[in-house]
Amino acid sequence: MPEDIKALKQDLTRRMDSTMDLLKKEFQGLRTSRPSPALLEPIRVVAYGGEVPLSQVANVQVGGPGLLVVQVWDKSVVKSVEIGIRDSGLNLNPQTEGQSIRVPLPPLTQERRNELIKTAQKYTEGAKVAIRGVRRDGMEQVKAQEKDKKAPISQDDSKKWQEEVQKLTDQYIKNVEAALADKEKDIRTV
């Protein structure tokens, strides 16, 4: 396999890996039956004259089954953190105790589980679209190489390269679908 296709595959793999990483991070924010500090990662709070991620003003830990504990570093932003958690759309009711905020996680109802699965499916579809976009870029690069005046490749090589790009894409689509199946199973587990 020529160096050009190796470099192309490495670039496409890197880009598809970053899409998978993003999908996994989005999945971490979806609540399951087990508490996870990642649940609160997307929350932004008003502090220091602007909006900042929760992780820049507090530490989040699992405080036991069904409980997260947020340890706020600066007393002046405790109320903002509490409001940010309450208004996050995660249906959480934080309880403040000094600079510590306890966040009990109520049991998931079947309706809420179904909503989480739909959200996971939406994230998955976004990842598939991103992977297909990477494939499209790869195919365009192969076709451009075929038409390149300085170092053209043959039509046979172009076809082989396009098949390689398609195989890579198919593998990542399968990985995305497997990740969704795992997340759905995790969400459905009571």
Q: Mind listing the pLDDT tens digit for each residue in 125-171?
A: 999 999 999 999 999 988 888 887 777 788 888 888 899 999 999 99
Domain check: are 123 and 75 in the same one? no
Point out the least confidently predicted range of 65-69, 118-122, 130-134.
65-69
Domain check: are 159 and 116 in the same one? yes
- Contacts with 105 (C-beta within 8 Å, 6 or more apart), sequence order: 31, 35, 39, 66, 67, 68, 92
**Total domains present in the chain:** 2
Nearest to 73 by CA among 59, 85, 62: 59
Q: In this structure, what CATH number is given to the domain that contains residue 8?
A: 1.10.132.20
Domain check: are 117 and 180 in the same one? yes
Q: What residues does 62 pair with on adjacent strands?
A: 68
Place of tokens 């405080």: 63
Give the chain's mean pLDDT: 86
Domain stops at, among 74, 89, 104: 104
Dihedral, 155, 130, 122, 92 alpha carbons, nearest 10:
160
pLDDT in tens, 79-103: 988 888 888 777 788 888 888 888 8
51: containing domain: 37-104
Domain check: are 178 and 130 in the same one? yes
Question: Which tops the pLDDT comparison, 30 or 128?
Answer: 128
Domain stops at, among 104, 129, 149: 104
Q: Tell me, what's the pLDDT at 31?
A: 66
Domain stops at, among 71, 88, 104: 104
Place of tokens 């932003």: 77
